[in-house]
Amino acid sequence: MAKKVSIVIPVYNEEQNIDFIAKEILAVTKSLNYIFEIIFIDDGSRDNTLEKIQLLSQKHPNIFSIELTKNFGHQNALKAGYDYATGHCIISMDGDMQHPPELISLMLKHWENGFDIVSTQRTYPAETSFFKKSGSNLFYKIINTLSDTKIEKGSSDFRLIDRHVANTLKNLTENSIFMRGLINWLGFKSIKIAFNANQRHAGVSKYPFKKMLKFAVEGITAFSVKPLYMAVYLGFIFSTLAILYIPYVIYEHYLGKDVAGWATVVVSIVFFGGLQLIILGIIGIYIGKLFIQSKQRPNYIVRTTNL
- pLDDT tens digits along 276-293: 767 777 777 777 767 666
Beta-bridge partners for 155: 121
Contacts 24+ apart (CB under 8 A), 125-128: 125/196, 125/197, 125/198, 125/199, 127/199, 128/197, 128/199
- HEC sequence for the chain: CCCEEEEEEEECCCCCCHHHHHHHHHHHHCCCCCEEEEEEEECCCCCCHHHHHHHHHHHCCCEEEEEECCCCCHHHHHHHHHHHCCCCEEEECCCCCCCCHHHHHHHHHHHHCCCCEEEEEEECCCCCCHHHHHHHHHHHHHHHHHCCCCCCCCECCCEEEEHHHHHHHHHCCCCCCCHHHHHHHHCCCEEEEEEECCCCCCCCCCCCHHHHHHHHHHHHHHHCCHHHHHHHHHHHHHHHHHHHHHHHHHHHHHCCCCCCCHHHHHHHHHHHHHHHHHHHHHHHHHHHHHHHHHHCCCCCCEEEECC
| Mean pLDDT of all residues in 105-132 | 83
What whole-number distance in Å separates Cα of residue 141 and Cα of residue 162? 29
Distance of CA 30 to the CA centre of its chain: 31
* Rounded-to-integer distance, Cα 20 and Cα 115, Å: 30
Q: In angstroms, rounded to a whole number, what is the distance separating the alpha carbons of residues 43 and 50? A: 9
- 306 vs 180, more confident: 306
For residues 65 and 178, the model is more confident at: 65
Chain-centroid distance of CA 12 in Å reads 15
pLDDT tens, residue by residue, 131-156: 666 666 776 776 667 666 666 777 78
Confidence check: pLDDT of 129 > 90: no
Mean local confidence (pLDDT), 20-31: 93
Nearest 5°: the CA angle 302, 7, 201 is: 95
pLDDT band at 263 (very low <50, low <70, confident <90, very high): very low
User: How distant is the alpha carbon of residue 196 from its chain centre?
Assistant: 19
Q: Is the pLDDT of residue 124 over 80?
A: no
Q: Give the Å distances, CA to CA, from 307 to 45, 215, 243.
A: 19, 30, 66
For 72-106, b/e burial (b = at least 16 CB within 10 A) is bbbbbbbbbbbbbbebbbbbbbbbbbbbbbebbee
Better-scored residue on pLDDT, 105 or 231: 105
